[in-house]
């Protein structure tokens, strides 16, 4: 089991770069004072990992929040993603420059292929390798790649992916994929850890909430971290950003981790990586 210490703790990627294991997600956060304030507040709270994407249309606001936080740029792990319509070698290089400009940054800490667009993701990855060699980005990875996508990609890579960001929650554990990523030095990362809010309609964490005096969100985030999964819960509300970070004063047992694993139904709330059309 990986060691979990505090909000600024991190996991080491296979190239030696350290990635904070709890971050702020910004999906559906508006590109105005909403996302600016969320980022500034999270950084003030001690978060050091901010996740965005070209698709989110809020990179400018994320960049403003980082700049106005007065936290040193080098201390913040900034992630963005190339969108599907921008994939391919030349388009990806252009998309990267556009993201950097919107973020008002000189480099990214992690750049991800947002979805495995067939017949494009290998050329996209070659562009990622170029950016990595040029030190424009400290780490490169993928999102929504299943095992067969990873195997196909890595047949032709010079640099293997460092991260795979996947939908991950108690109804979609995909333990075999986690194990495959671990074996191949690919850090697993969760998006939608709260099942797009559906977690809070379930009763699966009630006993654990009472035992540890924690919320359902805090129980599930702790489960993420103890499974060695980086997690990026999204919120624009100060109280939730704060409470999502209050997961370092308790520890789930092996039996409790297995209990949460047992709710796996292979059930997605988001699109299927093998069947999407965007």
Q: What is the pLDDT of residues 59-82, one digit of tens each?
A: 999 999 999 999 999 999 999 999
C-alpha–C-alpha distance, residues 17 and 157, integer Å: 19
Q: What is the pLDDT of residues 202-225, one digit of tens each?
A: 999 999 999 999 999 999 999 999
Q: Are 47 and 6 in contact (CB under 8 A)?
A: no
* Cα separation values, 250 from 1, 23, 209, 226, Å: 15, 19, 11, 11
Whether 1 shows a pLDDT value over 80: the answer reads no
Q: What is the pLDDT of residues 8-17, one digit of tens each?
A: 999 999 999 9
pLDDT at 2: 80
Phi, psi of 226, deg, nearest 5: -70, -20
pLDDT at 113: 98
Sheet with 49-51: list strands edge to edge: 24-25, 49-51, 77-82, 110-113, 140-143, 163-167, 187-191, 230-231
Q: Are 80 and 54 in contact (CB under 8 A)?
A: yes
Share of the chain above pLDDT 90, in %: 99
Q: Are 77 and 100 in contact (CB under 8 A)?
A: no
pLDDT at 212: 98
Q: What is the pLDDT of residues 164-215, one digit of tens each?
A: 999 999 999 999 999 999 999 999 999 999 999 999 999 999 999 999 999 9
**Domain spans in the chain, listed from the N-terminal domain onward:** 19-197+231-237
Q: What is the Cβ-side half-sphere exposure of residue 227, based on CA atoms within 13 angstroms?
A: 31
CATH of 19-197+231-237, one of 3.40.50.2000, 3.20.20.100, 1.10.10.10, 3.40.50.300: 3.20.20.100
Pair type for strands 77-82 and 49-51: parallel
Angle at 231 between CA 43 and CA 33, to 5 degrees: 40
Q: Is the pTM of this model over 0.85?
A: yes
C-alpha–C-alpha distance, residues 131 and 137, integer Å: 6
Whether 97 shows a pLDDT value over 80: the answer reads yes
Tokens of 270: 């988001």
Whether 37 shows a pLDDT value over 80: the answer reads yes
pLDDT at 48: 98
Catalytic residues: 56
Q: Which helix (H) or strand (E) holds 51?
A: strand 49-51
């Amino acid at each position: 089991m990986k060691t979990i210490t505090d909000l600024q703790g991190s996991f080491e990627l296979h190239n030696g770069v350290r990635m904070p294991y709890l971050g702020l997600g910004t999906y559906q956060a508006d590109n105005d004072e909403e996302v600016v304030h969320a980022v500034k507040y999270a950084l003030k709270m001690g978060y050091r990992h901010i996740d965005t994407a070209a698709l989110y249309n809020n990179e400018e606001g994320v960049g403003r929040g980082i700049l106005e936080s007065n936290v040193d740029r080098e201390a913040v792990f900034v992630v963005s993603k190339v969108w599907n319509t921008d994939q391919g070698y030349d388009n990806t290089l252009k998309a990267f420059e556009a993201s950097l400009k919107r973020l008002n940054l000189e480099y990214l800490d992690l750049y991800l292929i947002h979805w495995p667009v067939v017949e494009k993701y290998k050329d996209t990855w070659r562009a990622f390798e170029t950016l990595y060699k040029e030190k424009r980005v400290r780490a490169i990875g993928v999102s929504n790649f299943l095992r067969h996508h990873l195997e196909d990609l890595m047949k032709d890579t010079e640099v293997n992916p460092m991260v795979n960001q996947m939908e991950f929650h108690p109804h979609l554990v995909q333990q075999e994929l986690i194990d495959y990523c671990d074996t191949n030095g690919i850090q697993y990362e969760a998006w939608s850890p709260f099942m797009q809010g559906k977690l809070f309609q379930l009763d699966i964490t009630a006993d654990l909430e009472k035992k540890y005096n924690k919320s359902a969100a805090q129980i599930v985030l702790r489960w993420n971290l103890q499974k060695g999964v980086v997690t990026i819960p999204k919120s624009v509300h100060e109280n939730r950003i704060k409470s999502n970070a209050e997961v370092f004063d308790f520890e789930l047992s092996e039996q409790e981790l297995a209990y949460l694993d047992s709710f796996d139904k292979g059930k997605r709330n988001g699109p299927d990586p093998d069947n999407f059309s965007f």
